[in-house]
Structure 1
Amino acid sequence: MPLLLQIFPSGCKTVPQLRICNQYYYTIHGQDTGGMYPNYHCKNLGACTVMLTGPSWIVYSMDGKGMHGLFPYQLTYGPFHPTLSDREQFPFLYQMAPEDTSLPLAMVSLILHFNWNWVGLTISDNDQGIQFLSYLRTEMEKNTLCFAFVNMIPLNIYLYMSRAEVYYNQILTSSSNVVIIYGETDSTLSVSFRIWTSRGMQRIWVTTSQFDVTTSKSDFLPELFHGTLAFAHHHAEISGFKNFFQSKNPLKYSDEYLARLEWMNFNCGVSAPMCNTLRNCSSNSSLEWLIAQTFDMAFSDGSYDIYNAVYTTAHAAHERLLQPMDNQEVHLGNCLKLYSILRKTHFTNPVGDRVTMNQKEKLQPEYDIFQIWNFPNGLGLKVKIGMFSPYFPHGQQLHLYEDILEWAAGSRQVDVDQCVRCLEDQYANAEQIHCTDKSVSFLTYEDPLGMALTLMALGFSAFTSVVLGVFIKHHDTPLVKANNRNLSYTLLVSLIFCFLCPLLFIGHPNAPKCILQQITFGVVFSVAVSTVLAKTVTVVLAFKLTIPGKRMRYNLIPRASNFIIVICTLIQIILCAIWLGVSPPFIEIDAKSEQSHIIIIYENRKEFLLWVKAYSEERGKREVHDTGL
């Protein structure tokens, strides 16, 4: 039943000046409503009416049957409808719900998480369903997902009945076990959903909070809906709502009609024999125990929209009352002013969410993901299993509580045909429910070995640098000159680079470092060794000059030492070039030695040595065989 909000500019003797009443029935039947508001004494000065309508009223609005003349300004709760956002056709109708632009992405993220690449889709054949299909198809094509089938359920009941069996067989014969349901709850789609489940069809249903079957009454069969996944708009819990509602007893209200209406909402008449769910209708009973029986205490999307609609109207009324008002102002102008304020209203509600009447300024909604569980004694409850936020980076938008997921028959295990082998750079977690990237392991400066090598390399190179500095400082002394000053400099510099070569083995491996590691050390070490050899040759030649009868020019000694260094270094460079051409080093990635780590190491090719060894072994076997003959 639609809810009517009426703002009284003045005349009420009680505060606040906002009343919420079930007046639609009386208005369209022309009945007097003067005595239906308890505890209020109001003068009949005319009311600025704001009509709050639900999903069932939307059908009449789109068909042109809405009461736009009687109630020009309407706030609607329930799912967003693209048709109702047309300002030309509905200039005074505003939807409290945001547009579900990120819902297709949320559903596709869930499908990708469980590796469901073959899913079915059933939607209402209207603008809302077609728009959702367009968004969902775009997201699925981006992620190479496919539809097993697409059922578009017509709104016309006669057209639907002629094709009902076709839609049923389409799902029954499909190999897909996952079906997305999106559309109206008060439509043929809801009828189809009930028929399919009542006939024992069990699938993994992925839907929205509109199909919240846990709030249904006697026709709810929880075993058929067990495992159903539902997306609902995320919002904070209303402070004090549960405590108020659990302690509420409708029979204690002075208005007998409201008491009857409240108990009938829970399948219970005023007289005890009419109770379908409650054992009795005691006047001392409360609604606290219903949280574990038939009623969901959590705020639904529709309830939250109503909550925001009431606050929106109250904010607009408060702002209008604060503005100066002429006593001669006519009622129509006063209401138009109120409507103008209401249209521009934006505020932050008590739970911290931003509320605005401008659809373009509304933020993309976040979604809570619920799973319906079947408890003993036919009790079905929805349990929050995760959340989706479009504001997180790609790949981190979906978060699921894997440890509480339950599928059919109470199993938390996925069928073996749904299991997928993890990639080489990934590993399965302990529960084996998803793949995690392996961490890369290599020798770093933070490791004990890497830190020790770094300290030793820097220490020895620093000590050698100090020695080199001493030689440079005293380069004119006879002692330094006697030790062949240039060769000493060359030896000390080459030793410094030799001590620094271990640093090439530390850090993230790459191709240049892989090639330079051994070549650099080989060439620099060859220079150091050849320098020592040159010094030795120099000493030998110097002593030979002092032997009588030896004829050798003194100026040949420096040249000989230089030639030794150059020739030895060239030989080492040629050997390194041959080695690079025949068996170059490479980076080896070991992803199998450890489960959760990828080990990156430098490796040398051994194919040539293996060929030589294999040839030698084969030749030896032949010689032994020939000897035996």
Structure 2
Amino acid sequence: MYNLLAFVFTVEEINNSTELLPNVTLGINIYESFGNSRMLILNAVRIFSEMFEILNYNCKLSRPLAAIIEGLSAKESTKLYNTFNIYHYPQISYKSWDYLMSDTVKFPYFYRTVPTNFHLWAGIAKLLKHFGWNWFGFITPDDDSNVRDAKILKGEIERNGGCVEFEVTFKHTGDMSWKLRRKLISILHRTSAIVIIIYCNTDNGGKQYRKMFVELLQTSGKVFVIMNELDFSENIPTHFDLKNNSLTVSNFGKNMPHFSKFVREMKPIQLSGDILAQDWWQSLCDSQCPRRIKRDCSTNRTFPNYKHCFMKHFASSYSVYNAVYALAHALHDMIISGSVNNTAQSREGWRFVDYLHWKLNRYLRNLHFRNGLGEELYMDENGDLATGYDIMNLLFLPDGTWRYEVVGNYNPYAPMGQEFTIDEKAIVWERSFTQTPPSSRCSQMCLPGYRKLIHEEQVSCCYECIPCPEGKISNQTDADICTICPEDQWPNQKRDACIPKIITFLSYKDNLGIALTFTSIFFFLIAAAILRIFINYRDTPIVRANNRDLSYILLISLMLSFLCSLLFIGQPENITCILRQTAFGIIFSITLSSLLAKTITVVMAFHATKPGNTFRKWMGSRVSVTIILCCSLIQTVLCLAWLFTAPPFAYLNMISEIGIIIIECNEGSVIAFYCVLGYLGFLAGISFIIAFLARNLPDSFNEAKYITFSMMVFCSVWISFIPTYLSTKGKSMVAVEIFAILASSGGILGCIFFPKCYIILFRPEKNSKKDLRKI
């Protein structure tokens, strides 16, 4: 009834407008099919033939037909179109939502002011996903249309991660059997699903659908999601304990200004012959009706069966309103554009002649207009009005009345991120729910830090939650997989976020770094003190023995090796990485070549004491310096080749230790690194062999014993260094190398120079040629 009045109201509003269709008066013919297909066709024939039931004949040319505006079900709307599409009349529906009719090839002259059920399915999926519901029951009539749509909706739900626990169909014709109702109630009590989706086109569901829904609403602890508003025009019996536990997704609606006043003040003279219409109209006189819609009339009748005055948006009258405005704007655009050149002025106003409806289709397609509410609307490329859905909460009040409260909306044409909105605080939930909104899931949600584990025999919604493995996180609920953190980050303790890794290196501030630094400086000072002692006592026999210049070079190289270890402490950089390895290799080669020169000097000195031996001419510093230069030059060439091919560099080691980024030096070329170490080992080995063979030579200047002990210490340190170095990580690896440098250098310093310093400082009486010969 509201739809009929909306037609009249909108046409009057447009006819009274001075901007839209000036000098043109719109008229309407309204027919009711009463859900009867034969009556539908007969009424359509009357419309097209202008009174006479003869097709292809029109006896009232003064009032041409512009378009058909209908509120039929999808099935009847398709039947009407297929029967009369040969006339090319625009057919504008304010009710049919069948997505198949969006096909502009099959239905080029079909338009509508409601969204298709294709958008409805997406809106329902958005609603379910918003509340985190993924475990559902499904109830639907068994007719082809509803079964087909329900199947598509289930597919959409499953694509969004939902699962259907059970599905029940009921006959779409006749009354629902008591057996089926009992079966439904029994299923609802057994099922673990909290959310029950009832997909039913009310045209195909009929009165038994409403009766079934009223019975289901008495079930506690369930949430029902339904499509389209149900008109509970009759009072709900007070002994029915109906729960406020349903959400409805319905076509977008809005109150038109002054429409309630129009309904309240209109005189229904033309409805005098329709008893049902008269009862509907007179029921608006009920004192319980709100003031905005209550009619001022005197009657002693009571109207217990009608509560339609409590409807918030007056059914689908908003869609009727937009349908009439869309047609009016299309007519207006056609007149303004000059497309209708064949017009004539008469006393009745504008009279449109040939092919009005043929030309009108071009203006309806992709129409952009503004309705009486000032809203900007448009038809999309399929001829559908770009509108959406309201999400409503059905509330039953203690006095037996009911109402829908809009709690959100879904508009597929809105900008990304704004298409779905809902106000959870506005929803009234049943009191029996322990949590609001209630949860409908087969398994509890996996919290961040966990992922889903679905067993083969279970559906995708039933799973268990397992923690993310080491090194991975999940930062959202119900994660299917755990993701790996970036290389410079690591999972926190809960494994729900990545946090920066701790950056570490052997720092001067670390206890280990401080200890090694002081040890290096301490040995450096000792070596410097020994050098000072040797310089002060340079003319004494014990200093002059075995070439004091070699002793000076050896002491200086040991001092540099102690300082070299400091390059290994602190944050590595490319320059320090290059210096630490090359300086270490060259300085140690000088140290070992000095020891080799000392050893060779001992051997040559022993043989030079024999009469007529040619070794006497080789005695002196020239041979020793030559040995040092040649041996050091070979190591220098190796280091330069290393630098020019693959030099050491600083890099971030993110994999050696869990949760730690180690700033360390990469050797660049491992082969070059071990070549440098191998060459040092070669020098040490030659020095050890020669010194060992010469350790018992009976010569006053024999230093071979001390060199042998020092080489034993040196080789022991560096042989144990290699496996230890390879088995450690991070700053421990650097500390091992520093320890090897200090230990080997300290061993050489102690074995060779401490005995001489003891004699120089504490036993000066032995620092003479006479005593040296006794050693």
Deviation at 1:314, TM superposition (A): 0.9
Residue 447 of structure 2 corresponds to 423
Residue 447 of structure 1 corresponds to none
Whether the 8 Å contact between 2:66 and 2:356 is mirrored in structure 1 is no
1:382 to 387, 393, 404: 404
Whether the 8 Å contact between 2:248 and 2:393 is mirrored in structure 1 is yes
Deviations 1:420-439 (A, max 9, x none): 4762559xxxxxxxxx979x
Whether the 8 Å contact between 2:235 and 2:400 is mirrored in structure 1 is no
Residue 17 of structure 1 corresponds to 24
Counterpart of 1:533, as a letter, is F
Pairing 1:394-473 to 2, within 5 Å after superposition:
399-409=421-431, 413-414=435-436, 420=444, 423=447, 425=449
Q: SS of 2:203's equivalent?
A: coil
Counterpart of 2:114, as a letter, is A
Paired with 1:531 and 1:149, the residues of 2 have a C-alpha distance of: 78
Counterpart of 2:195, as a letter, is V
Distance of aligned partners of 1:258 and 1:135 in 2 relative to their CA distance in 1, 3 Å threshold = same
Pairing 1:93-492 to 2, within 5 Å after superposition:
93-126=110-143, 128-155=145-172, 157=173, 165-166=179-180, 169-170=183-184, 172-174=186-188, 175=191, 176-188=193-205, 191-198=208-215, 201-202=218-219, 203-208=222-227, 210-213=228-231, 216-219=233-236, 223-224=241-242, 226-234=244-252, 241-242=256-257, 244-248=258-262, 250=264, 252-253=265-266, 256-257=269-270, 264=277, 267-269=280-282, 282-283=296-297, 294-295=308-309, 298-299=312-313, 302-322=316-336, 323=338, 325-327=341-343, 331-343=353-365, 345-347=367-369, 349=371, 351-356=374-379, 358-359=381-382, 366-388=388-410, 399-409=421-431, 413-414=435-436, 420=444, 423=447, 425=449
Deviation at 1:313, TM superposition (A): 0.8
Whether the 8 Å contact between 1:253 and 1:259 is mirrored in structure 2 is no
Residue 441 of structure 1 corresponds to none
Deviations 1:187-212 (A, max 9, x none): 2365234234247642421012x234
Whether the 8 Å contact between 2:284 and 2:309 is mirrored in structure 1 is no
Deviation at 1:258, TM superposition (A): 6.1
Distance of aligned partners of 1:296 and 1:389 in 2 relative to their CA distance in 1, 3 Å threshold = same
Paired with 2:261 and 2:156, the residues of 1 have a C-alpha distance of: 46
Deviation at 1:229, TM superposition (A): 0.5
Paired with 1:224 and 1:361, the residues of 2 have a C-alpha distance of: 37
Paired with 1:141 and 1:171, the residues of 2 have a C-alpha distance of: 25
Deviations 1:36-58 (A, max 9, x none): xxxxxxx9613223221113585
Pairing 1:523-538 to 2, within 5 Å after superposition:
528-529=517-518, 531-533=520-522, 535-538=524-527
Q: SS of 1:226's equivalent?
A: coil
Counterpart of 2:242, as a letter, is L
Whether the 8 Å contact between 2:506 and 2:569 is mirrored in structure 1 is no
Deviation at 1:74, TM superposition (A): 1.7
TM-score with structure 1 setting the length: 0.59
Distance of aligned partners of 1:103 and 1:522 in 2 relative to their CA distance in 1, 3 Å threshold = farther
Distance of aligned partners of 1:200 and 1:64 in 2 relative to their CA distance in 1, 3 Å threshold = same
Pairing 1:536-575 to 2, within 5 Å after superposition:
536-548=525-537, 549=540, 551=543, 553-565=551-563
Deviation at 1:561, TM superposition (A): 1.6
Identity %: 18
Q: SS of 2:118's equivalent?
A: coil
Counterpart of 2:247, as a letter, is L
Rg larger for: 2
Distance of aligned partners of 1:422 and 1:265 in 2 relative to their CA distance in 1, 3 Å threshold = farther
Paired with 2:266 and 2:207, the residues of 1 have a C-alpha distance of: 35
Q: SS of 2:202's equivalent?
A: coil
Deviations 1:335-389 (A, max 9, x none): 42234433453345555443216327865x5543221223332232222334446
Q: SS of 1:172's equivalent?
A: helix
Paired with 1:385 and 1:527, the residues of 2 have a C-alpha distance of: 71
Paired with 1:278 and 1:199, the residues of 2 have a C-alpha distance of: 29
Distance of aligned partners of 1:183 and 1:270 in 2 relative to their CA distance in 1, 3 Å threshold = closer
TM-score with structure 2 setting the length: 0.49
Q: SS of 1:318's equivalent?
A: helix
Deviation at 1:408, TM superposition (A): 2.2
Of 17-26 and 392-401, the range deviating more from structure 2: 392-401
Paired with 2:446 and 2:355, the residues of 1 have a C-alpha distance of: 68
Q: SS of 1:197's equivalent?
A: helix
Distance of aligned partners of 1:267 and 1:546 in 2 relative to their CA distance in 1, 3 Å threshold = same
Counterpart of 1:52, as a letter, is I
Residue 59 of structure 1 corresponds to 76
Residue 77 (structure 1) aligned with residue 94 (structure 2)? yes
Q: Could you tell me which runs of 5 or more consecutive residues in structure 1 were left unpaired when the two chains were aligned.
A: 35-42, 286-292, 427-435, 439-506, 574-583, 589-603, 605-629
Residue 465 of structure 2 corresponds to none
Paired with 2:317 and 2:23, the residues of 1 have a C-alpha distance of: 22
Whether the 8 Å contact between 1:268 and 1:275 is mirrored in structure 2 is no
Deviation at 1:510, TM superposition (A): 4.6
Counterpart of 1:403, as a letter, is K
Count residues with an aligned counterpart. 472
Q: CA RMSD in A?
A: 5.4
Whether the 8 Å contact between 2:123 and 2:410 is mirrored in structure 1 is yes
Whether the 8 Å contact between 1:57 and 1:66 is mirrored in structure 2 is no
Q: SS of 2:399's equivalent?
A: helix
Whether the 8 Å contact between 1:119 and 1:177 is mirrored in structure 2 is yes
Counterpart of 1:257, as a letter, is Q
Counterpart of 1:149, as a letter, is F
Distance of aligned partners of 1:266 and 1:543 in 2 relative to their CA distance in 1, 3 Å threshold = farther
Q: Could you tell me which runs of 5 or more consecutive residues in structure 2 were left unpaired when the two chains were aligned.
A: 34-41, 52-59, 300-306, 345-350, 451-474, 478-496, 571-579, 581-655, 661-730, 732-775
Deviation at 1:73, TM superposition (A): 3.0
Distance of aligned partners of 1:571 and 1:181 in 2 relative to their CA distance in 1, 3 Å threshold = closer
Counterpart of 2:155, as a letter, is T
Paired with 1:270 and 1:212, the residues of 2 have a C-alpha distance of: 19
Q: SS of 2:326's equivalent?
A: helix
Deviations 1:496-517 (A, max 9, x none): xxxxxxxxxxx97455x45657
Distance of aligned partners of 1:401 and 1:284 in 2 relative to their CA distance in 1, 3 Å threshold = same
Distance of aligned partners of 1:121 and 1:220 in 2 relative to their CA distance in 1, 3 Å threshold = farther
Deviation at 1:169, TM superposition (A): 1.4
Paired with 1:392 and 1:260, the residues of 2 have a C-alpha distance of: 46
Deviations 1:62-86 (A, max 9, x none): 3889666899432111241135445
